[in-house]
Structure 1
Amino acid sequence: MKSDGELMDILNAYDLTGSLRAAADLCGCSHNTVKKAVEDRDAGLPPATHRTKITDDWLEYLEEWVSKSKGKIRGDKAHEKLLALGYTGADRTTRRALAEIKTQWRLGNTRVHRPWITEPGLWLQYDFGDGPVVDGRKIVLLVAWLAWCRYRIVVPLRDRTAASVFAGLDRVFRIIGGAPTYLLTDNEKTVTAGHVAGVPIRNRTAVTFGRYYGITVLTCQPADPASKGGVENAVKLAKADIVPTETNLLEQYATFADVEIACTAFMTEINARVHRATRRVPNEMLAEERPELHGIPDMPHTAVLGVARRVPDNTPMVTFDHCQYSTPATLLGQSVWVRLHDGTDEVVICALDDGGPIEVARHARTTPGSPAIDDAHFPGHHPRIPGDYSVRARTVSEQQFLAIGEGAATWLKEAAAVGTERIYLKMSHAVDLARLGVRGDVDWALGHAAVHGRFATGDLDSILASKGMDLTRRGASESTSLTQGTSGWNLLGSNAIEHKTADETNEGQR
């Protein structure tokens, strides 16, 4: 198929050379094409600028199918449809015609994007990603992206409620050292309450939040990668490096604090390397952009955190809706904010730290008279059970008695439980026995006395004596005794006795 200009060039070349092949070489075509053009001119026919094709009668069907499928219909499916309508052409011919129609359709329907050029201090975008699962609950990753310097921040959240999102944004502002002019995000319910004639109606809570920090909350246009693509790519990177998968082989996180540590490590690494678009380090560019950001209040925005409560100075418990809930013991005497989680039956408690609002406790909703207590909020606490008394020495005599060992403490509790009389004298006697002998033996005897309920006077001595450990008695040894022994009886019936008797007789006579 030749255009009018190409046919005129072919005829001019033939008139110049007078040769079909020479004209074909000059125009870069076949000599048959030159011959056809010359014959049509000599016959007075119009130039044949279009060659009839078998698909010409079926083009409107192909165009309709391409339009309905938005350019996604396959060649084999289009060929099947044409065959059902009586088409007799080959599959290859159908594919060529369909490819040309698709190309023309894309040229008329492709959206051309212009690169988004930002200024320092103007735009901060944020989006969300699915985080890891901790204790059966999926963590939400709040990912923010400072558009000019490409600085990325990741803050883990327990949910996507307005209170959690705005608390996370406050932490984002404090990390980058200020607030931008515009805050850009999706049309979610925390920001947009609805649409009227295509105009988003702002959520009143979001407007109050923006006014508090001096920023304007905006929502992006649908399918606008030029203005939203940066933060979406940041979400992909954060999920790839933080969320455990089969490809990165990361271990599951045991606590929420472990997820926070992983997010901090991710920010430290990614903001310290050269960005491929700017060819600069985001940390260095943030230092240049920070003066363009405006300051933020020292006190975070707490209107959406719930009702304020003060933790007592000695009991880490707060009251909400006539029910009591525990808080970490480190918050004694401080103010916290309590709210009911929307859509669930949970009570969330938030506090403030150097980085802004932070969730410190989450309890299932309880009823009046049944406090919700987390044992982790009471470190070092031992439950006091009636009858299970802790033994503490207050006098010197008590210290000496309890110093004997565990058996002494057991004996004291059991003896006191049965109302043993003259208990101080019996304790003093046990101390004296421990001084005379081995302390471990006396401790053993006291333990056995407690187990068998022997608390009378002399019971301790009896137990020691039964084991050969009577410390109050002393026996003389055979080597030091003054009593005559019976060893002399062994001499009876021997000559030694006769000689001894004779010697004694002579000695008597003298």
Structure 2
Amino acid sequence: MDIISAYHQLGSYRAAAEHCGTTHRTVKKIVEKFEAGQAGMPLPARAERAHNYDLVADLVAERVQKSHGRISAKRLLPIAKAAGYEGSARNFRRLVAEAKALWRSNNHRGRRPAVWEPGEYLVIDWAQAAPGLFLFCAVLAFSRWRFVRFASNERASTTLALIAESLAAESPWKSRRLLTLETRMQVCPRNRHQERIQPAAATVRRRRLRRCAWSAPCAPNWGPSRARYRG
């Protein structure tokens, strides 16, 4: 027997609750909801329950704003008690955490964090295996696919030809961006007159792939560039 039928037969919340193995408050809530739905009336809105930290909520928000979300609840608690707060430290920590979360949501850095997709980036790098022998490696992010080739040099034509070969080999994934740890990457055919860069420390560069440009026949026409590309 369900709660509604038990209430209609027994006539009281407590009797129906004892029969169904629940509390009288649960029976009352279910019966009122059922009767309101039968009558076509909207359910009554739940009243907002007052908290014991409502008195110092504005004070906490002001201090969080002034400290740029860095102040701790431990430092704020004596100030709140001096202002009239009589609740527990646990409730006050919850209030400070909510105020900090609200401040961070309204004062974020202006852009969402990057969300990587499987196979979106093709990561390449060079390594010297022996004198005069170099190793080219391309790896698809978030996968076990890799492309390895040996070469006798690290020239632009060799690099671009191997990139084109790796792109043709990983056709099922169709990666859209290239991630390289070398700033010697050739990025623009219009800057052939500029010299090659040899950085002291490798830095990460992200580049968008244009499949029409990353082809072996076009590789000899590409030259070094000083331009810093931000993909």
Please give the range of the TM-score, normalised by the shorter of the 2 chains: 0.3 to 0.5
Name the TM-score, length of structure 1 as normaliser.
0.21
Name the TM-score, length of structure 2 as normaliser.
0.40
Point out which structure has higher relative CO (alpha carbons under 8 A, 6+ apart).
2
Q: Flag the structure with larger Rg.
A: 1
